[in-house]
Amino acid sequence: MELLNGFKNPFRSEYKRWVFLVGLVAISHLLFQSFLLPYGNALRSLLLPGIDDSIEGNYGNVVSPVRSGSKSVVVRNTLTINGSDFSTRDVILFNDGNGGGGVGISGRKIGDWVEKGVSNVIFDGNVDDDYASGNGEDLNENAVLEEVIRDQDNYVNATSRIEQVAKHGREVSIGELRDVNTTSQYPALSSMANPTPNAGSSFRSTSLQSDHTVSKSNSLMVVKPGKKKMRCEMPPKTVTTIDEMNRILLRHRRSSRAMRPRRSSIRDKEIFAAKSRIENGPVITNDQDLYAPVFRNVSLFKRSYELMEQILKVYVYKDGKKPIFHLPILKGLYASEGWFMKLMQGNKHFVAKDPRRAHLFYMPFSSRMLEYTLYVRNSHNRTNLRQFLKDYTETISAKYPYFNRTDGADHFLVACHDWAPYETRHHMEHCIKALCNADVTAGFKIGRDVSLPETYVRSARNPLRDLGGKPASQRHILAFYAGSMHGYLRPILLKHWKDKDTDMKILGPMPPGVASKMNYIQHMKSTKYCICPKGYEVNSPRVVESIFYECVPVIISDNFVPPFFEVLDWGAFSIILAEKDIPNLKDILTSIPQERYLALQLGVRKVQRHFLWHAKPERYDLFHMTLHSIWYNRVYQIKLR
């Protein structure tokens, strides 16, 4: 018995020591973690270590400064999302009003979060005050984009796996999201800020993580101070009239602002020679193909167009992965960039397989898919979108010798989203930009950049559906407008004219439904003048819609450069008014003589062919007009060594 007690006592003594040591380690861990995890997750990190996937092993130490008020706090904990709570609660990363980071995922289910590929997102706190959520006029855009995303590789599997995890009440960690999201397929999606110096990678990738823990029981809630007005909610500080734009274009033609290339190529010399051939070509007095009154100079245009067909070769970069690159969106509000991408990439006449034969270089990204894939909804922060394109530009400039030779002056992009001017600033500054948001106060360069028509395509299979309208004699409505109240200008229009005059059909948003859309179309087909006020930005799809339905567009948008401004005479088929003229709108329209209106309406019908997309491009259509304006501006800005 004494021998047995001798064995028990040492065992109990050792047991107590082990219990004491384990307890001491646990208490130390909790105390230590309480400093690093101030949101109540220390115990969970101890009891459920497998859920908190460490960032450090794959990405190194990640530290994010989060400013709240006047103090700065450094947080190092991992982002954890409660999947079961994701469909009903918002993930909030705040805007403190002082440049602090403000990122949120509002009203999106967890599958949508994976769709956007934002599991590796951190924001640097530089909130852009100019943010606006696009024009917001595309009623079908979400459905279109969901179809596009569903077509991507691994999307269904990724979403299914996340939903299965969430269904069982588990919390989804960064590690699990990283395993199933599309970052492995699209390595550039993790490139959000601060590029690494490795130019040889397919994209300069920096991997940054959001550092805030947001759980079902403990969400990060910060009260916003007074809301600051965004630029799109206020009238512009300066106004450039259409006459001033004309003078700027003439000055640019006389004295090019383009930089000389580091070394001239044979392609540069071919384009330079084309300028002389354009200016010394024959004068056209009566052309069967073109209606001269709608052009600034039909002789110059026709000669330039013919030389484009004979000479121009375009190299389309193959770098970049879907969905941001090489994936055209053919329906909705931003369809112009998608149709151009599709038709350019499939064109055998203009596309050069050998970049040494190319006069121009096309960077085929979609500004709409860039926003849809990388932007975190309601974050008011687009820094990562601009960084993504910066990384792409640095990649092609390191991989190929062409961008650096001219600082990008012989490169072009086609982008219709409102944010494209911001996203392409600085790193693509010398490129030719074909932009729907052609705003001279937002960096649009008249004579170099191209004002891209914003076309609302309702049917990707039949972009010409419902084309045309009633003849001038059957248009009994003087003016028509209906649409959402985006920006500061449209409420002013309705304040002066809604329900004020039977001749002025100025309405607010049309009710949803097919019947309402058809009513909208019939109004445009039956109206003399279609009012095209700016929305959040200067561009509006109503300009092209008016031409589509043969209604004379009345453009009310200060600082907006009309589409194909370098070759078209908009005074021949439209009315351009200053925003301050809204109170006098009816007087201005009724003062236009009938003969003048008939000439304008004829001009609309004649210019219509230049604003149409075709599945197989036709001469002088929208695809060729866009490419021609890019070519034409390059011809007039090129310089040689």
Q: What is the CATH number of the domain that holds 579?
A: 3.40.50.2000
| Residue 588 in tokens | 């201005």
Residues 329 and 385 in one domain: yes
Q: Are residues 282 and 417 located together in one domain of the fold?
A: yes
Backbone angles phi, psi at 506, to 5 degrees: -105, 110
C-alpha distances (whole Å) from 73 to each of 30, 95, 219, 399 are 20, 15, 17, 40
Q: Is the peptide bond before 323 cis (omega within 30 degrees of 0)?
A: yes
- Nearest CA to 313 out of 254, 356, 280 is that of 356
Q: Is the domain of 389 the same as that of 482?
A: no
Does residue 202 lie in a domain region? no
| Contact assessment for residue 267 and residue 358, using Cβ atoms and an 8 Å cutoff | yes
Q: Check residue 31 and give its pLDDT.
A: 67
Cβ(258)–Cβ(512) below 8 Å = no
Question: pTM value?
Answer: 0.70
Coil/strand/helix, residue 530? strand
Q: Over the chain (641 residues), what is each successive 10-residue block's mean pLDDT?
A: 49 69 77 51 43 33 36 32 32 34 34 32 30 37 48 37 36 34 36 38 36 33 56 88 96 72 81 93 88 96 97 97 96 96 97 96 97 92 95 97 94 97 95 98 96 96 96 96 95 96 94 89 97 96 98 98 98 98 97 98 98 97 98 89 59
Cα atoms found within 13 Å of the Cα of residue 235, Cβ hemisphere only: 13
Predicted local confidence at residue 17, as pLDDT: 78
Q: Is residue 201 part of a domain?
A: no
Number of domains in the chain: 2
Determine the pLDDT at residue 628: 98
Token match 């979400």: residue? Answer: 142
8 Å CB contact between 191 and 206: yes
Is 67 a member of any domain? no
pLDDT of residue 259: 64
Amino acid, res. 99 = G
Q: How far apart are CA 624 and CA 618, in angstroms?
A: 8
Residue-range definition of the domain harbouring residue 265: 242-458+622-637
pLDDT at 284: 86
Q: What is the pLDDT of residue 9?
A: 55
> What's the pLDDT score for residue 168?
38
Which amino acid is present at 342?
K
- Residue 567 counted as domain residue: yes
Kindly state the tokens that stand for 634. 């390059």
CB atoms within 10 A of CB 75: 17
Six-digit token string for 169: 């009440």
- Both 605 and 508 in one domain: the answer is yes
pLDDT of residue 23: 81
Please check whether residue 305 lies inside any domain of the structure: yes
**What are the two backbone dihedrals, phi and then psi, of residue 475, each rounded to the nearest 5 degrees?**
-100, 100
User: What is the distance of C-alpha 460 from the center of its chain?
Assistant: 20
| Torsion angle defined by CA atoms of residues 238, 244, 248 and 249, in that order, rounded to the nearest 10 degrees | 130
Residues 453 and 562 in one domain: no
Is 116 inside any structural domain? no
Residue 537 lies in a domain: yes
Are 593 and 626 in the same domain? Answer: no
367 and 454 inside one domain: yes
Whether residue 489 is found in the same domain as residue 589: yes
Same domain, 388 and 482: no
Alpha helices in 435-500 (DSSP H): 489-497
- Residues 503, 607, single domain; the answer is yes
Cβ within 8 Å of residue 106, ≥6 positions away: 90, 91, 92, 377, 378
Query: In terms of domains, do 442 and 389 share one?
Result: yes
Residue 268 covered by a domain: yes
The answer to whether residues 290 and 427 belong to one domain is yes
